[in-house]
């Protein structure tokens, strides 16, 4: 696998790459971080191949509280225009949707905990999802949802959140749920966001979430397969465009 340069946008100190860092190291990727909460300068658009946009407890609309969201959105738009390969996770997928002209808004209920995700028929047409079962348990931590960008391919859904994953313009992948969490990063987000765990049918308790922390291992395997497929798909696209 050719070495790729990955820059990731981090919106909260407790929502880092998780397993993605392991995958990147295994595949000899060059990793750089833009920690927006520390006002780190954004990189030159030509200095990376992939852009990964991580999650965070804020809404895409919280620009008055988190002013870096303004420049982050502008940067994501520049990366889209430059035809970069982009992956957005949770807040990252919502930012991609908004920058692409879609609405982001509160879902009917918060979804926090281990809940099933089901793949659509569309997903089966993409080789990067060949090893993903039709339904699997994924870790969720979100209150907002979004409309799909125009032309995006709907890939996955859950019972209370229709748009859980999409591919846009062949190079952009949005995942509303978290396959990157490790048992350690799962504990980290709980420690910082415990106040959101007001138990409901779609919000699990801290004990229930941590009881199933071993599910992170399978989630990480699915993510590795998706990242491998995403890389191969974009390499083929690049060759076709030469």
The predicted pLDDT at position 235 comes to 58
The predicted pLDDT at position 25 comes to 96
Q: Span 5-236: which CATH code? A: 3.40.50.880
Of all helices (H) and strands (E), which one includes residue 209? helix 206-211
The predicted pLDDT at position 142 comes to 98
User: Regarding predicted confidence, which is higher, 238 or 221?
Assistant: 221
The predicted pLDDT at position 126 comes to 87
| pLDDT at residue 2 tops 80 | no
Angle, alpha carbons 189-191-194 (nearest 5°): 90
Closest CA to 166 of 147, 181, 179, 180: 147
Domain ranges of the chain: 5-236
125 — pLDDT class (breaks 50, 70, 90): confident
Determine the average pLDDT of the residues in 83-87.
96
User: Regarding predicted confidence, which is higher, 237 or 34?
Assistant: 34
What is the Cα–Cα distance from 109 to 202, expressed in whole angstroms? 7
Chain mean pLDDT for the chain = 94
| pLDDT at residue 242 tops 60 | no
Question: In sequence order, what are the beta bridge partners of 119?
Answer: 156
Which tens digits make up the pLDDT trace of 8-22? 999 999 999 999 999
232 — pLDDT class (breaks 50, 70, 90): confident
240 — pLDDT class (breaks 50, 70, 90): very low
202 — pLDDT class (breaks 50, 70, 90): very high
The predicted pLDDT at position 238 comes to 46
The predicted pLDDT at position 4 comes to 93
Which tens digits make up the pLDDT trace of 134-184? 999 999 999 999 999 999 999 999 999 999 999 999 999 999 999 999 999
pLDDT cut 90: percent of the chain above it? 88
- pTM (whole model) above 0.85: yes
Integer Rg of the chain from CA: 17
Determine the average pLDDT of the residues in 215-221.
98
Residue pointed to by tokens 């007001």:
198
């Amino acid at each position: 696998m050719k070495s790729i340069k990955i820059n990731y946008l981090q919106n909260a100190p407790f929502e880092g790459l998780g397993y993605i860092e392991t995958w990147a190291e295994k595949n000899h990727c060059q990793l750089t971080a833009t920690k927006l909460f520390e006002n780190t300068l954004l990189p030159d658009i030509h200095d990376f191949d992939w852009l990964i946009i991580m999650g965070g407890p804020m809404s895409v609309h919280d620009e008055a509280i988190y002013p870096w969201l303004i420049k982050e959105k502008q940067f994501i738009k520049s990366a889209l225009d430059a035809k970069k390969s982009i992956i957005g996770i949770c807040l990252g997928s919502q930012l991609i949707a908004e920058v692409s002209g879609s609405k982001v808004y509160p879902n009917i209920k918060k979804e926090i905990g281990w809940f099933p995700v089901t793949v659509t028929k569309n997903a089966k047409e993409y080789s990067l999802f060949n090893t993903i079962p039709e339904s699997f348990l994924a870790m969720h931590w979100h209150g907002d949802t979004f409309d799909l960008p125009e032309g995006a391919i709907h890939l996955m859904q859950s019972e209370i959140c229709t748009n859980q994953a999409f591919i846009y313009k062949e190079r952009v992948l949005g995942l509303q749920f978290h396959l990157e969490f490790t048992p350690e990063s799962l504990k980290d987000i709980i420690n910082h966001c415990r106040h959101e765990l007001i138990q409901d049918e779609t919000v699990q308790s801290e004990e229930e979430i941590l009881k199933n922390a071993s599910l992170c291992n399978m989630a990480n395997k699915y993510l590795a397969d998706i990242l491998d497929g995403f890389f191969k798909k974009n390499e083929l696209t690049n060759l076709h465009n030469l």
